[in-house]
Structure formats: structure tokens, C-alpha cells
Structure 1
């Protein structure tokens, strides 16, 4: 991510010189004078007639893509088309507000328009294709690192900028640079060096070297160079490669350089200006390395950056499910207006409008607007369901007091993680001859810790009773519209059957029978084998439950937390 103020200011000028070629930028900044100043700088550097449109969060398709002009259609009795904001921004800039919250559907439509350079409208009885060649400035207001615009959209934008300082006014040289952009020459060695540098930093996108080439040409035009020079290429890779890097280049082993013959004298301008490919590639690697934040170098070297990003992406708990009455609106659908359904009045009128002339001729005198059953459109909503994480903990004597203490510590960390994700948590303990609900589903981290602190240990292992109690909680959570997640911590040494009688064969058979409904219900489950040595029956039980099996003789809390996060994503 480009951070220095000078680079951020130059990025605005390069984008103004070649907006359509560079695609746009992700601008990470809080609302305020600095962000508005950067946007003003960009807008002032563009030609006066350049379209400038704002894309609000949650924009409907009728406004995004275009469609039927409802008022004009109802007034004239014939279909009248209305251009959407994408078509209105043709040849200019589209500023997307709160891009970190943009839903994937809107992002996919925007990406399609960026790729094709046109918007296709096939709705409301219309079939239109309108030009929409534009650049996007995605305003990222996210507070956490995992809050970011959709990856597919960011991939199509050349720059990702971290705004820190208020930029100054736009220079007059931009207009001249835009005029001579097409005449900028590119050395033959530049594109291979850009591709090699991208591969060295683990950048596999084919767009990245092309964006870097575009940025280098724009930088050369801004600097008044006739040919792309090293400084232009260095600026381009800092802006384009810095935020895309996923690894550090491998260090080649140092070997003594063989003696080289003295170079032949060549006074041609071309040989003086174009650096050798190897030297140019090394320069680009150093420029990209310099653009990486200091703390990121060690992270990339350890190979943990991608793992951290994936872990952060799991921060939203629960399923998304469709709803007919509440949640975030996600469009409309055709259907009958029954109890509980919510009418989308504007979309219903939009569906009926093209047929008004025909219906008036067929029906004679009547209401001004004639709506039929097939015109009815109903609102659709999407809800995030809350996750209920159910921890079933083996507190029997076979688990041993030391092992139980380790399990408590691991579960405490998991409970804290669930609290951060706003999950509900519940704790079931089984020992002796029955299972006990220590903590009903709650959002209170303090109550969860208290329930674990008071968890006794010792006695037999009624494993079937523990699974039954956890399943009952899971079914109750589902009835309340929540997504259950079951984490079973046990050493697998069942010795108490469902009826309370002792005996390992009967207890294991009952445990397998209790596990079957879990698999049938498709419940997301993790079985953690806490025995000092992995137990064959624990693996068999995990298979019967359809659970992920994890053997943790030391109850490693970090591994356990990662496993629960993976199970939650699969839920």
C-alpha cells in the first residue's frame, strides 16, 4: 500500500493522466478534509467535462445499471429508458462510498462493466447496451485490516493508497502530460523486467504488470521524458506492486563475479538510455521492497501474511439467509402477495408500466394505472444469522485433573474469540452418570469464564449423555434462527451408557448412536481428542458425527482456535 505523501499525491496525477488505463484506486482514509482534498486534487487535474459520479452504498440495480424511467413511462404510456449511474460515468470517474461494505453482487456487476467497458440492460422489457468506460475510486473506511473492498474489485484498480496528509493543488503539467502520453516510448527490457519483478514478489495477477506499465508511461509523461526511465518505472512498481506483494524475493547465493571484458564504446542514445534487463529488474525489486511497510517485511518473510488475511476474513460469524420480512434488502422477486410478504411498490409499477397502453385499449375506461397479478414484485431481504458455539467438555476422571485444566484454558481462549465475533456460547460438561448444562447460550464472557472456573473433575465418562445434551442445545439454537457450532473435547473413553449402566462396549455403542443425528442434521462439528495418545474410538466417533477430528495431546490453544475458526467457516 502506497503510504508516503509524495507517492499518494503522484498517484492522483497519474490517475488523472490515464484513468481508463489504470482502472482507478482504492483510497483507504477516514472521511474528512484529507480525503476530500485528494479527491478535489484528482478532479481538478481532469478535463473540465469529465463525468464525476458518486456510487452510494446499497444502490439498487435500477439506478446502478439503468432501466425503465417509471414517471415518463406512466405519463406517456410507452417504455422510456433511463440511464444508470455507470452509463452516466462513461469516460470519467465513479467514486464508490464505503467500498469495504460493498456486497459481492454489486461488486460483480461493477467488475463486469470495468472489463467490458459497457453496461447491458436486460430488464423491465428493455434491451440496451450503453458505453461505460470509467475508472473507480473505491473509498475504504475500514478500521480493521480485514475490512477491505471486495477482492475482485481491488484487483481491477491499479493503486491502493493510504492517505495521511492533505495534498496541495493540482499542477498545470497534467494537461500537457495527458497530451503526450501516447508518444511515450517504452524500452524493450521494461515489460520483461516488470513481469519478473511481479513473479519475485508472488504477484500472479496478469493485470499488475500491465498496470505498472501504464503507470510508468504516465509518470514519464508527467516528468517530461520521451522514454520511460528508471525513476518512472520505480514509481510505478511502488504504487502498483507494494500492496500486492505476497512474498519476498528469494536471495540468490552470492558468488564471485567472473571478470568481464571492458565494454565496447557505443555512443548511440538508445544504448545510453536503456538499462540492461538484469540491472533494471534489480532496481524494480528494490523499489518494490522499499514500498513495503517495515513491519510487513518480517511477516512476508515468515510466510504468514496470507494466513493472517484468511484468519481475518473469518470474522463475520453466522450464515447469510434469505428472509421475506427483515434484513438487508437484496432486490425483488415475482410472486403472489400473501400474508407476510412485503410489496415492492416501485418495482411492481415498473413491471406494469410498459403494458399500460395495451391494457387501456383492451379494457376501456378504468383506473389510470392497471396492475395485474404477474406484475407483482415482492421485496427480498438477507439476514446474518447469529452463531451459537456449544462446547461439550469431558470432565471425567479419565481426562485427569491436569488435562482438564489445560482444556479449560484452551476453551477460555475460544470463548474470548467467540465474544469478539459476537457469537453466543454455551458450555456442557459431562462426568459421572450425566451431562450438566453449565452455561446456557449467552453473550456474556464473564459468565462463561465463571462457569469454567467452577467446572469439577472426576468420575466416569457418560459420552452419549454429553452428545445428547449438546445436540439438544443445537436444535434449540436452530429453532431460534441461529447457526449452531459444536466443539466436543473428550479423550473418547466412554464407559457409561445412556441408561446409566457401566460398561465400555455398551457406552461406546450408545455414543455412536448419539452421534448419528449430528451427521444427519449437517451440524458443523469439531471433535478434539484430548487423550495423551490419539484414541481409535475418538476417530471413529468423529466419523460417525461427520465431525472434523483434531488430536491435541497438549491441548494447544492456538491450533484449537484455528480449527474452530475453520469449522465455523464450513458451517
Structure 2
């Protein structure tokens, strides 16, 4: 098994980068998980030094589609009256490397264009009056800042043959490499002629299946990587060491299950009952001995792969959970919506700026440019030489912005355990409010006890106001659950009308004993609470029921089902744990 010290970790990252530099498009790309800092800077500087074709482009996070694919070169087109095409970033990168910044947050349309080019090495362009196919064979360096709960989209990472994680390294671990550009140039010329034995190919296939990797693309890329690693070391045939490194660099992070290794004493137990027969078979089948000498030690390869599975993925596999195919949007609890004037630009569309949309002048001119020659022929003599624009040419900017999120705490303040629940609610609200300066969140608090529910804290981001409202939170009395759900429904509707996304968090055991009119009665109170919950569910709003009783209650589960929300038990939970549960529920929803 390969050592896993920090220095060897850096050496492995260097070797992966060297292999990528030899054949960027053949390996697809390299997924670099690292926060901005000196270690990532050193890695990117080394990538620039080893860039053999000297073609390198950088794609920013919000690069417009026209910049990626190309389009009409507006200045020359308007000046000459003839269409002139401007080459996009993807076509300009043919034969070289693209650096994708903040890959975990890149727009889907950008990912789609990158994947198409990585698959075919070409781009099919049909836009703005021109149609053509341009070569675009490049490799991608996807920079992932390593934030918890975020990673690039699966469609992209599946096509990136290599992955390196620099998050745990410091600049002191970045030792000089003995690989130079001359070795890489030699490997670039010879790697396709490196031979890969049938035994190594079979071992690679067995390892891929043992790790639960079903995509054939992963095995194809790994086999190319083995040849490239052999060529870098000036070998004409791949070896077991190349297999082991290829599995670590290209397959370990794709694992969907932990492989089962055979017991160490299986061979001994099998050989004890029939020692004479085993000896008699040896001279009759010498080919078996030769095969055993050539066949790679699969146990060692698989153990090495397990040792290099990313820590979070390894913990998930040990618990029997499937790895998540999509990255969760950490820090974005509110849903997205289109807006005419504010938010992040996500392209253009035909539209009328008189209806409140923002005119995109450059897109409008590009839409009008292909028609100028025809329009000038049909124009009046006084319009000759003018730029002729029609309403159908108008293009407006599409915006998408994150809706604000409001968390409604609906706290059961009745019964003897009320004070315990109140303390947890107070702490959780204060912790959530502390996050509101970096997130567009607000917090509200509804308490229900006696014969009614009461809004103690309207939606706010003010920490001072929240502490004042929480200081004298009452407790004790009956449980008017139906009234609490109705009040939550009304407040959620108001929040949605204001353009925000509400999340209702109920802290209760689900036991209702006060009807809507304030009279006691468990059966009637339960029926009214379930009816009110169904009305809340019609809003399609998010809900979470946290069972605040010492033991799990079936009635709390029934309430969660009626609300259309999630159910969580809260054994010995503190304010921090409650805050984490709420954040987890918001991410899932």
C-alpha cells in the first residue's frame, strides 16, 4: 500500500498533474479540490510550467454563452455590412487547457457545453445566423474551493479523469518535483504506443467493479492513465505500479461501495485437506504459476484504493449510504426565481423593455446585424446607411436571484417540559440570526399554549429585537395545536406574497388537547389540527416537525405527514444541534 503522508500526497498530486499535462483531452481533466491559498497557487503555477501546448484559457464563474461559444463580431459586422464571426473561449482552447474557476457553482449551460466538447472534441454551433462545427479538444482544470456540501456537477466530474485534494496540505509539503518538461514531451509522443497486458486490463476491470463503478468511461480513462504514467517513466509497457496509481488518481473518489476483501486464511484452509493433490497438480499446469507471477496483487490494489477514498465519501460508504449525485447548495436555503431587474444574469431572451425588463444592447445589436443588408435594400432612400432595428430584434437580460428565506419556529409552550423546549428554541433562534448577515434569512417565532397561539417575533433579522422577544417567553397550559398551524399557514402565505421562502419548524410532541374555539377535548382538537395541517400542505411550503418529547411520539409523525414535511426526533438535542437539523432540512427541501 502506498504511503499517505503529506509529502507523498503532494507527490501524488504532482504525478497526476504531469499525466494530465501529457494528454489533457484524453484524460478529460483534473478536479482540484482546494481553497484559494498558497498551495493551490503553487499547483497552478506548476500546471502553467508543464503546459506543453501553451494554450491556456480561464473561464470565470458567470461567463456568458456568447463568450464561450463565439458569435457575431459586432464592430466589424456593423462597419462592413457583412457577418464576421468571433471565436469563443472553447474553440480558442483547442489543443490546450481550460481553467474553470469555482467549478462547484458553474451554470448548467456552461457545464453542458464543456461536456459536449469533452465527449467529441468538437462544438456544433448554430446561432446568430451562422452554423458551423469547430474543433474544441481540450482538458479542464476544475477548481473546487472545497466548501462543505458543495462540489461540481456529476456530469462534469464523471468526465474528469483525475482528482486531487489539496485541502490538508501546506506550502511546506510542496517539495520540488523531479519531473521536467522534457520527460513530458517524450511521454506525449510515445504514450499511445505503450502496451497494456490482458492481465492488467482484467485487474483494472475487477477493481472497477469491486468499487461499484458502473460507468465504462471511468475504466477507459484509467487505462489511458496507466499508459501515460508508464510513458512518463520511460517504459514501453504498463506495470502494476501504474495500475495502483491509476486506481488511486482516477477511481478511488468514484467508489459507490466498499469492496469486500477475501479472508487472509482462505488459501491456507483450502490447501490443508488436499496437500498431495495440490502438489501433484503443480507440474501438470506450469502456466498457472506463470499467470500468478504476472497477475497483479488485487488485494493490495483495492486496499490502496480504499486508503485514498475521500474521507467524507469513505464515512458515507461505511454507513451504507450511497454517495450523493448532486451537490447541495450550501448557504442557499431560499428557492430561485426569475426577476426582471435584479439578480444574477443568466442569458438573454426576446422581450419588450417597455414591460419592465432590462434591454441588453449588445444582444439586440447582434440579433439585428444579420438582417442589415436585406433591410437596407427594402428601406427608404433616407434610411440608407442607418442601423435598422425592429421590435423583433429586442433582447432583454434574464436574471435569477435567490429568494430570501424565513424560518418560522412554532414552539409548543404547554406542559411541564415547556421550559426545556423554550431554552432550546431561544438558543437556536439566536444562532440562526447570527447567520443572517451572511445569508438572506429571517427568523420568526410562534408560541402556542393555553387556548391560543401567539406570534411573539415577526420575521426579523435584528438580533437585539429577537433577544428582547425571547427573554420573557411564557410556558405552561393546554396545547392549541390547530390554532398554531392556522397561524403558521397565514404567516407563511404572507411571507410567500412578499417574495420569500418560508420554512416552518414545529417543536412539539404532536399531542393536541384544545380545540379551535378554546374548549378542551383531545379527539376534536386532533381532528382540527389535522385539517389545519392539510390546509398548510396545500401551500407547498417546507415544514419540519421536531419531536420534542423524551420518547418518540406517533402523533408527531402523523402531524409531519399531514403537513407534508419531515419528521425528526430530538433526543437530548441542544441549540446547536437544533440549528444543524434545521439547516439540513432546508438543504434537502
- TM-score bin (small chain): 0.7 to 0.9
Distance in 2, matches of 1:301 and 1:25, equals 26
What's the counterpart of residue 24 of structure 1? Answer: 29
What's the counterpart of residue 548 of structure 1? Answer: 565
Distance in 1, matches of 2:226 and 2:406, equals 52
Where structure 1 has 5 or more consecutive residues not aligned to the other structure, the ranges are none
What's the counterpart of residue 129 of structure 1? Answer: 133
Provide Cα deviations, 1:37-57, integer angstroms capped at 9, x if missing partner: 444444444444x53222122
- Judging changes above 3 Å, is the alpha-carbon distance between structure 1 residues 104 and 444 closer, same or farther for their aligned structure 2 residues? farther
Give yes or no for the alignment of 1:484 onto 2:484.
Answer: no
SS in 1 for 2:474: coil
- Alpha-carbon shift at residue 291 of structure 1 (Å): 2.9
SS in 2 for 1:203: coil
What's the counterpart of residue 420 of structure 2? Answer: 405
Counterparts of 1:113-512 in structure 2, within 5 Å, are: 113-140=117-144, 142-163=145-166, 164=169, 165=174, 167-168=176-177, 170-253=180-263, 254-257=265-268, 258=271, 259=275, 260-261=278-279, 275-277=293-295, 279-292=296-309, 300-303=317-320, 306=323, 313-364=329-380, 365-366=382-383, 368-397=386-415, 400-401=416-417, 405-406=420-421, 408-409=423-424, 412-413=427-428, 416=431, 420=435, 422=439, 423-443=441-461, 454-504=472-522, 506-512=524-530
- Alpha-carbon shift at residue 370 of structure 1 (Å): 0.8
What's the counterpart of residue 12 of structure 1? Answer: 17
**Root mean square deviation of aligned Cα:** 3.5
- Alpha-carbon shift at residue 509 of structure 1 (Å): 4.7
- Judging changes above 3 Å, is the alpha-carbon distance between structure 1 residues 543 and 304 closer, same or farther for their aligned structure 2 residues? closer
- Alpha-carbon shift at residue 384 of structure 1 (Å): 0.8
Does structure 2 retain, via aligned residues, the 8 Å contact 1:408–1:452?
A: no
SS in 1 for 2:198: coil
Does structure 1 retain, via aligned residues, the 8 Å contact 2:55–2:95?
A: yes
- Judging changes above 3 Å, is the alpha-carbon distance between structure 1 residues 407 and 159 closer, same or farther for their aligned structure 2 residues? farther
- Alpha-carbon shift at residue 375 of structure 1 (Å): 0.3
What's the counterpart of residue 95 of structure 1? Answer: 99
Provide Cα deviations, 1:206-244, integer angstroms capped at 9, x if missing partner: 322222211110011111212111112122122112333
SS in 2 for 1:129: strand
Distance in 2, matches of 1:39 and 1:369, equals 46
Distance in 2, matches of 1:196 and 1:63, equals 43
| Equivalenced residues, count | 562
Where structure 2 has 5 or more consecutive residues not aligned to the other structure, the ranges are none
- Judging changes above 3 Å, is the alpha-carbon distance between structure 1 residues 491 and 239 closer, same or farther for their aligned structure 2 residues? closer
Does structure 1 retain, via aligned residues, the 8 Å contact 2:506–2:544?
A: yes
Distance in 2, matches of 1:445 and 1:212, equals 53
TM-score (structure 2 length as normaliser): 0.84
- Alpha-carbon shift at residue 327 of structure 1 (Å): 0.6
Distance in 2, matches of 1:292 and 1:437, equals 49
TM-score (structure 1 length as normaliser): 0.87
Distance in 1, matches of 2:442 and 2:347, equals 30
Choose which of 110, 114, 127 in structure 2 pairs with 1:110.
114
Does structure 1 retain, via aligned residues, the 8 Å contact 2:153–2:326?
A: no
